[in-house]
Structure 1
């Protein structure tokens, strides 16, 4: 490695250091991928909020790299609770200074930070072109290999986009709700009566027994969805949900979520869609996604592009998305490198 590492000064990235935060926001915007449909444009409110509000069950550690008083790079790691890994959320280099050793110096610093927090591996999701799909830059994967990384075992991901200007999944309307169920919708904050059920469905992908749901006030207050909502509100995001209630039992049989940032009126993210195991086989997933799309378009008429990602072995959901008009754009491949 060249001597550039000795020229860098690392400053913690915190919400209370306004000059560093502003410089980091500029760098993030300048470093954004300009490949169409690879990612939504950066949103300043979302990024600034992310420094203060980590996802539930994680901690964030970030640093800005300065040389001669100028910010030229940044790193940020996500530290999942109880896991031996550090997820590389960002490893940014000023576009004008790439291929000069800055990225390698940042990778070394990322390993130091991960080791200081007791982690044994760095992991990151990298983009790879799909056969017949749009070209994707192979530079990030080449860099990961150069600093000791390799593709990890396990399923990969498929990143899909829906362009509502090209295809309208609601052309035939929302399907009828099956007998014995009723449709419900809500916004960013989940109603108390569904909070624990949404948490349980989301964390177990619908495999848990509904009778195990604790509906006490304390369980609702501390549920996973409440912690997730705190992060979402802190980052200035809005969310739209649709759910189905089983009439006989009154339990929430499934739900889906779409969220969006403040600064990207045309972009939205299709989140989790999950149906409880006792309620599958009624095409509730399709109903939920279409009903929620109608919900989103009612309140966010500017939304044009919706992205989503699924493990590539989740064939039913990928097929449902494609039937709605989602187009596969790229593969997401998990890479791993030892901290040592």
Structure 2
């Protein structure tokens, strides 16, 4: 069934909370949160408009556009278009979010048509889509990585297949109930520290990166786009500079969330070998989000992933206690990091497919 009376248009991102367009931006954020909650059965992935705004003001390094669909003036769906700033980059990341009550009415198709047209106009010949897939009975479509699958009859799976997308990878969403037993955390940390030995040292900070680590963090963030498992997606390298680290730190430090970072230093060289981040909301009633975690390939095999994760969880417990959980996402074939998470106490809450056309 189609619905005749809907419109699709681009949303102008407001310059600040309360500025022109703020009401529409908040309404689009509400759609985003409702779709996430329906997909994963929890509202712990929700973000406020104030928390999301810094991402949307980051046009120099991560150009993005938002389309919204309205029924009777109400925003009921949004489409997100993201690229890289390099003129040679040929990739666009697309996302569709339609409120459950307004699905199967042509709105998702209209948004997808517009997003794909923008990509074609800009010469982006590869489109990547991350789409949550709830569990369902019946035949399944396996990931070519050999890890994970999606129910073939799910509407988002049928929609993407019909538009020429192929499943490339599965991502697992996981939840860690808090608090974690302090003794268990200490045992995990001590075991990892014994394996890593005296060549590695952990450092931690909140929000802004200390000056001595700026260049290393720029390298780590760049390598996050090349060293993390990406299956057949062929995600492009995203180059970070010291200036970009400084600007991003400043933008997010001015927002309502706190970023807790743990890094591990390779003492013989004085360079960082890995990092992990937790994004902490101001309200203790809300979940903490685990952001990027990376150990450089040349330093793997020393249990540094466990060392980093536990160090940051210990810092969270000491400095920002009271939150109900930590939410994280990992590639299903990233067995090392999943094993770390499972050992700490993370349990799966849902899965999403990574698709390419």
Aligned partners of 2:49, 2:56: CA distance in 1, in Å?
11
Aligned partners of 1:331, 1:96: CA distance in 2, in Å?
22
Which structure has more relative contact order (CA 8 Å, sep 6+)? It is 1
| CA deviation map 1:117-176 (0-9, x unaligned) | 33234321122357999x999332233234x143244x4323222123577652637325
Correspondence 1:172 to 2:187: yes
Task: After TM superposition, give the deviation of residue 305 of structure 1 in Å.
Answer: 1.5
| CA deviation map 1:53-101 (0-9, x unaligned) | 35x7421111222344333332221112343232123x23344332222
Q: 2:288·2:326 contact (CA, 8 Å) conserved in 1?
A: yes
Counterpart of 1:215 in structure 2 is none
Correspondence 1:283 to 2:299: no
Unaligned runs of 5+ in 2: 15-19, 138-147, 228-239
Correspondence 1:46 to 2:65: no
Task: After TM superposition, give the deviation of residue 104 of structure 1 in Å.
Answer: 1.7
- Count of equivalent residues: 320
Q: Aligned in 2, Cα 1:31/1:129: closer, same or farther, shift over 3 Å?
A: closer
Counterpart of 2:277 in structure 1 is 257
Aligned partners of 2:217, 2:209: CA distance in 1, in Å?
8
Matches within 5 A, 1:86-165: 86-89=92-95, 91-128=96-133, 138-146=154-162, 148-153=163-168, 155-164=169-178
Task: After TM superposition, give the deviation of residue 25 of structure 1 in Å.
Answer: 3.1
Q: 2:218·2:242 contact (CA, 8 Å) conserved in 1?
A: no
Unaligned runs of 5+ in 1: 209-218
Matches within 5 A, 1:212-231: 221-222=242-243, 224-231=244-251
Secondary structure, aligned partner of 1:313:
coil
Task: After TM superposition, give the deviation of residue 227 of structure 1 in Å.
Answer: 4.5
Aligned partners of 2:294, 2:351: CA distance in 1, in Å?
22
Aligned partners of 1:118, 1:41: CA distance in 2, in Å?
33
Q: 2:284·2:321 contact (CA, 8 Å) conserved in 1?
A: no
Aligned partners of 2:355, 2:13: CA distance in 1, in Å?
27
Q: Aligned in 2, Cα 1:189/1:129: closer, same or farther, shift over 3 Å?
A: same
Counterpart of 1:12 in structure 2 is 11
Q: 2:11·2:25 contact (CA, 8 Å) conserved in 1?
A: no
What root-mean-square deviation, in Å, do the aligned CA atoms of Structure 1 and Structure 2 show? 3.5
Secondary structure, aligned partner of 2:222:
helix
TM-score when normalising by structure 1 = 0.78
Counterpart of 2:236 in structure 1 is none
| CA deviation map 1:255-302 (0-9, x unaligned) | 222223446743122233333455444323222211111011222212
Q: 2:8·2:110 contact (CA, 8 Å) conserved in 1?
A: no
Counterpart of 1:336 in structure 2 is 356
Of 227, 232, 237 in structure 1, the residue corresponding to residue 252 of structure 2 is 232
Counterpart of 1:245 in structure 2 is 265
Q: 1:126·1:334 contact (CA, 8 Å) conserved in 2?
A: yes
Of 84, 87, 90 in structure 1, the residue corresponding to residue 90 of structure 2 is 84
Aligned partners of 1:309, 1:61: CA distance in 2, in Å?
24
TM-score when normalising by structure 2 = 0.75
Correspondence 1:24 to 2:28: yes
| CA deviation map 1:157-211 (0-9, x unaligned) | 2322212357765263732563244332111111010111122133225999xxx
Q: 1:41·1:264 contact (CA, 8 Å) conserved in 2?
A: no
Q: 1:25·1:48 contact (CA, 8 Å) conserved in 2?
A: no
Task: After TM superposition, give the deviation of residue 112 of structure 1 in Å.
Answer: 2.5
